[in-house]
Structure 1
Amino acid sequence: MATSVIEICNNALNDLGEEAIASLADNTKAARLCNQRWPAVRDAVLRAHPWNCALAQAELAASAAPAGWQYGSAFPLPADCLRVLSVCCGGADVRAWEVQAARILCDETGPLQVLYVRRIDDPRLFDPLLCETLTARLSATLAYPITASTALAQSFWAAYADKLREARGVDAREASPIAAPAPTSWLTAKMGG
């Protein structure tokens, strides 16, 4: 498990055969690239899967601002929200909702209970496989700018996809299985039930 952003960056740089950096503020091409790319890589990997270590819950109140023409209410998202996973109101799932401009839009009056993937800035809170997946994506992202090799970049993107698949499998086994939805009346009719 990584203890710092620098450790994850150095793992990625080492995979690329580069020298380690001491700080994101170092005056080297590798440090500048890590400093520039790290926030987007972190957020993309966190958003790619509902990592157990990044899950959060919040209760949201409706905004006074209008929701627009499609929905009746708008609920501002928490500042650290990267991806909304589920939306409930009064203990029942909200069926029709969408995220627009950092708000959940729906026809409920609220409050909403939201399960979401949050941005985590402290790598000490990351799952070890999340750290490996972040390292793999950062290696893939930095491969071409550092080495100018398309083949190497493609190889690192494939390694990232493999690492993400492995981490998703392990992470998914650390929670109760999600029940399959009940069949709809259409499906019941088609099946002769």
Structure 2
Amino acid sequence: MANIVTSQTRIANRAFILLGSTERIDSVNDPSPLALQVKDLWHESRRQILVAHPWNCAIRRARLDRAGSVPAFGYSAQFLLPSDNLRWLPWVTGDCEWFEGEEEGGFILSNEAGPLNIRYIADIEDVTAWSAHVQLLMAYRLAWDLCESATQISGNVDEARIAYEGQDGRGGYLAEARRLDGMATGRRANDSARAGSRWLDGYAGGRRPPGVW
């Protein structure tokens, strides 16, 4: 299995290449200013890409038992989400696992007796467990974040952003990564990332927040 630090270093150096920079690091654990900047940005950049789409490599399943405490009002029960949860993926209405509920404060609130069977995006820190397109997406995201950072790495911020997320709904590696990931998804009609969630469907008359797939 590939070494985690080596894989992180390769992703960071790919980000420098995408920026057109000749800078390189030998390891993300180097004490050099550039490596330290990568480490400062890594955690949030990683979480940004993981929540951007229900990547197959980051989806996990869990069975949640009813918590001892109950909500102050509105629901009769609450269920503690896994500690590595980044984003709950509600079931589609009509699915055999579907239930009515909403996420608040690290819990799912519901009137169900439980246990609840859920799918969610996990906070996967081991980049060697990511698919190749998610690793490359991390390089694009890191390039954008490094371009905005205090190191002033050469590269235009707008160009880095467009390379990552595209413009006017077109282009950008994020769209390509989503397409590649979708090709490995068997239940395409069951779009659990979109339906059955008040959080996703309740924004401003049904409009989803920016960056949510």
Higher fraction of helix:
1
Give 2:98's match in structure 1, choosing from 87, 93, 111.
93
SS in 1 for 2:75: coil
Give 2:78's match in structure 1, choosing from 51, 74, 85.
74
Aligned-pair identity in percent equals 29
Structure 1: gaps spanning 5 or more residues = 181-193
Aligned partners of 1:32, 1:148: CA distance in 2, in Å? 14
> Aligned pair 1:111/2:141, yes or no?
no
Matches within 5 A, 1:52-67: 52-67=56-71
Per-residue CA distance 1:90-123 (angstroms, 9 max, x = gap): 94301x3221121111111100000111111111
Deviation, 1:139, is 0.3
Structure 2: gaps spanning 5 or more residues = 166-171, 192-213
Per-residue CA distance 1:67-90 (angstroms, 9 max, x = gap): 2322221111111111111259x9
Give 1:132's match in structure 2, choosing from 126, 136, 147.
136
> Aligned pair 1:169/2:179, yes or no?
yes
Contact residue 4 and residue 122 of structure 1 kept, 8 A:
no
Query: Aligned-residue CA RMSD in angstroms?
Result: 2.4
Deviation, 1:133, is 0.8
TM-score by length of 1: 0.82
Per-residue CA distance 1:35-71 (angstroms, 9 max, x = gap): 1111111111011000011111000001102223222
> Aligned pair 1:4/2:7, yes or no?
yes
Q: Which has the larger radius of gyration?
A: 1
| Misfit runs of 4+, over 3 Å | none
Deviation, 1:140, is 0.2
SS in 1 for 2:11: helix
Deviation, 1:148, is 6.8
Contact residue 45 and residue 141 of structure 2 kept, 8 A:
yes
Aligned partners of 1:154, 1:87: CA distance in 2, in Å? 36
The equivalent residue for 2:18 is 15
